[in-house]
Amino acid sequence: MDIPVGNKKFELSRGQATAILAVLFVGLVGLYGLRRDWGAAYGKIPKEGIVVQIPRGSSHREIAELLAAKGLVRSSLSFRILAARNFRRTLHAGEYMFEGRLSPKQIMRMLIMGRVYLHSVTVPEGYTIFEIADLLEKEGLATSKDFLEMASDPTLVRYLAPGAPNLEGFLFPDTYKFPKGIPPRRIAETMVKRFRVAWSKLSQDHSDAHLGPLGIVTMASLIERETAVAEERPRVASVFYNRLQDQVALGCDPTVIYALRLAHQYRGSLSSADMHFASPYNTYLHRGLPPGPIANPGAASLRAALEPEKTNFLYFVADAQGRHAFSRTLLEHNRNVMRYRQRRAEMNREQADAEPPLVPDHQQP
């Protein structure tokens, strides 16, 4: 076989020509095999899927070896070659959830698009920034310390509530989906944005506009922490507004709890001494609303703060059945308090009677 090179010709022996053809054949077969491998689903992935964390800064080789070790690709070398063919594309770091049998091409597409696994986290209505921080840490999305540090900066809500001391009240309770490694600021921004959407849907035409957005959100947070019964919220709001109008201290227990939490002194219950705890949040000591929200209210409590029921009530107390008894005078209120205590005592006796007696060890059969 003659092969022209410039003005010269080189003659290949039959053996050399055969060798070249063999190499080309093997190369073509290998390329065909690679293409088949890249397009074929592989791996025995369990029903719950396989979670893979791609560290930031990982090379193609490290990613390929990690995927092979997890049993997601047949060959790390094959995946590295596939990655080399996509050298213009970035393989994004992050946590990925692989479900069902996938081909290397499908996995490559996920990494190029950065389709990281999103963790669902539900923030209940009435959670404080402390409880949200603990929840995020439990879900592995942020440390409590980092999130609290972020939430202490009110910059994100300065446009709406210039006097807000922090982000309390503006982290809207809802279900969110976040990837691991997301900065705490991004989490806060997402929750504040959700608050803005909810706030924009509420009617701002109300009789207590003098409170302003910060006052309304603060009022809503008190309502949220006082009752979980939706239909009671406008009535609870009426009590607080009536007391504000009469310049009577609100006397809201949750504000005292919040004050103690801020000072890291809350022990799970309130004592009579706690009612005298020195704090601007203590609405037993100070008239008017506290300096800012004491929790993050949901849409129903925000609506109740904007549209309170019209009543003459000045007091309310729990009725030991999950609701509240409302009254207009202190005399009525004291009677309701007495009924509450009597009912609680009856419930404690009933519970004690229902429990089997303790049997000392030496009397057990």
- Residue 44 within any structural domain of the chain: no
Torsion sign (Cα): 28, 29, 34, 36: positive
Q: Do 250 and 286 fall into the same domain? A: yes
The rounded percent of the chain whose pLDDT value lies above 70 is 82
Look at residue 13 in the predicted model and tell me its pLDDT. Answer: 61
Q: What are the strands, taking DSSP E only, across the chain?
A: 2-5, 8-11, 50-54, 94-98, 118-122, 175-179, 315-318, 324-327
Q: What is the average per-residue pLDDT within 226-251?
A: 94
Residue 270 has pLDDT above 60, yes or no: yes
Which residue segment(s) compose the domain that 153 sits in? Answer: 119-200
CATH number at residue 73: 3.30.1490.480
Number of domains in the chain: 3
Is the pTM of the predicted complex or chain greater than 0.85? no
Q: Do 105 and 182 fall into the same domain? A: no
- Residue 45 within any structural domain of the chain: no
Q: State the burial class of residue 160 (Cβ atoms within 10 Å of its Cβ: 0-12, 13-18, 19+).
A: middle
Instruction: Give the Cα separation of 311 and 240 in Å (integer).
Output: 11
Look at residue 364 in the predicted model and tell me its pLDDT. Answer: 39
Q: Do 167 and 87 fall into the same domain? A: no
Q: Do 172 and 186 fall into the same domain? A: yes
Residue 362 has pLDDT above 80, yes or no: no
Torsion angle of the four alpha carbons 289, 292, 295, 301, in this order, in degrees rounded to the nearest 10: 60
Summarize pLDDT for 279-301 with one digit per residue, the tens.
999 999 999 999 999 999 999 99
Cα 290 from chain centre: 26
Q: Do 313 and 284 fall into the same domain? A: yes
Summarize pLDDT for 27-44 with one digit per residue, the tens.
444 454 455 556 566 667
Summarize pLDDT for 168-178 with one digit per residue, the tens.
999 999 999 99
